Amino acid sequence: MLQTIYQPRNFLSSWINAKAFKKTASVSKALPGTINIFLTVDPLTIDQHFNPNDPSPIYKRQLSHQFEQYIMASIATAKRYSVINYKITCKNESDRQYADPLIYTIKRHFLAKKALKITEFEKFKRRSYTLLFLSLAVVMICRGVVPLVLDETHHLQGGLTNSLDIFSWVLLWRPIDSLLFEYNPYLKNICILDKLANGEVIFN
């Protein structure tokens, strides 16, 4: 599971880091459906992309919270058919040695998030279908038992039948609503995380 350790900073330090970060990362939508994430990599700015509290080697370090938020904000308008590319600018050839660990960390991070989202999606499907089938079973039992208990001439049958109709709709509404309106957002999020984890890397 991904965990991020946060460290309080004063306003001036946060402002300076934000200004420096904006100079090294930007987003451009070159073509409809294509999102290019531009990154500048050099020895002075490489540490800004990683969690400063993580003492692990560079290939195993976590992304910084600020950098992750930047990436997620930049692909906020991405669709399931969008193409996401990472375009890296190095000031000189020696700076390319810092690009590999950064891209590796980015892809590893979003690959882990994709796995978590898939697990969450599987739980959602099991919960929704289980609730749907249980609701259908309860409705069928109620609709089957009432005619056996009350004959057609019983004065309570009409009111009880109407009440069961309302109860059936209420009982079935939640699982049907979830499967209709929450199913596709899960697929979209998984698809976008997959694109972030497997995006093409282009060196400018």
pLDDT reported for residue 146: 65
Indicate if 18 and 109 belong to the same structural domain.
yes
100, amino acid identity: D
Examine residue 156 and state whether it is found in any structural domain, yes or no.
Answer: yes
Indicate if 95 and 60 belong to the same structural domain.
yes
pTM score over 0.75: no
Indicate if 106 and 130 belong to the same structural domain.
no
Q: Rounded to an integer, what distance in angstroms lies between the CA atom of residue 186 and that of residue 180?
A: 11
How many structural domains does the chain have? 2
Indicate if 59 and 106 belong to the same structural domain.
yes
Q: Which domain holds residue 33?
A: 11-116+189-203
The count of other CB atoms within 10 Å of the CB of residue 170 is 10
Indicate if 138 and 67 belong to the same structural domain.
no
Buried b (16+ CB within 10 A) or exposed e, 30-43: eeeeebbbbbbbee
Examine residue 1 and state whether it is found in any structural domain, yes or no.
Answer: no
Examine residue 5 and state whether it is found in any structural domain, yes or no.
Answer: no
Q: Is the pLDDT of residue 14 over 60?
A: no
Indicate if 139 and 105 belong to the same structural domain.
no
Indicate if 175 and 195 belong to the same structural domain.
no
Q: Is the pLDDT of residue 154 over 80?
A: no
Indicate if 88 and 136 belong to the same structural domain.
no
Indicate if 16 and 108 belong to the same structural domain.
yes
pLDDT reported for residue 151: 59
Examine residue 140 and state whether it is found in any structural domain, yes or no.
Answer: yes
Examine residue 3 and state whether it is found in any structural domain, yes or no.
Answer: no
**81-122 pLDDT, tens digit each:** 999 999 998 888 888 888 889 999 999 999 999 999 999 999
Examine residue 177 and state whether it is found in any structural domain, yes or no.
Answer: yes
What percentage of the chain exceeds 70 in pLDDT?
76
SS3 70: helix
Examine residue 70 and state whether it is found in any structural domain, yes or no.
Answer: yes
Residue with tokens 């099991």: 126
Of 8-17, 25-34, 59-68, 128-137, the one with minimum mean pLDDT is 8-17
What is the helix (H) or strand (E) element at residue 85, kind and residue range? strand 83-90
The predicted model gives 153-170 an average pLDDT of 68
Q: Rounded to an integer, what distance in angstroms lies between the CA atom of residue 192 and that of residue 113?
A: 11
The count of other CB atoms within 10 Å of the CB of residue 108 is 16
- HSE at residue 124, side-chain half, CA atoms within 13 A, is 19
Of 49-53, 151-155, 173-177, 187-191, the one with minimum mean pLDDT is 151-155
Q: Which residue has the higher pLDDT, 20 or 169?
A: 169
Indicate if 175 and 133 belong to the same structural domain.
yes
Q: Rounded to an integer, what distance in angstroms lies between the CA atom of residue 114 and that of residue 120?
A: 10
Examine residue 4 and state whether it is found in any structural domain, yes or no.
Answer: no
Contact 88, 203 (CB under 8 A): yes
Q: Rounded to an integer, what distance in angstroms lies between the CA atom of residue 150 and that of residue 109?
A: 62
Indicate if 100 and 147 belong to the same structural domain.
no
Indicate if 138 and 195 belong to the same structural domain.
no
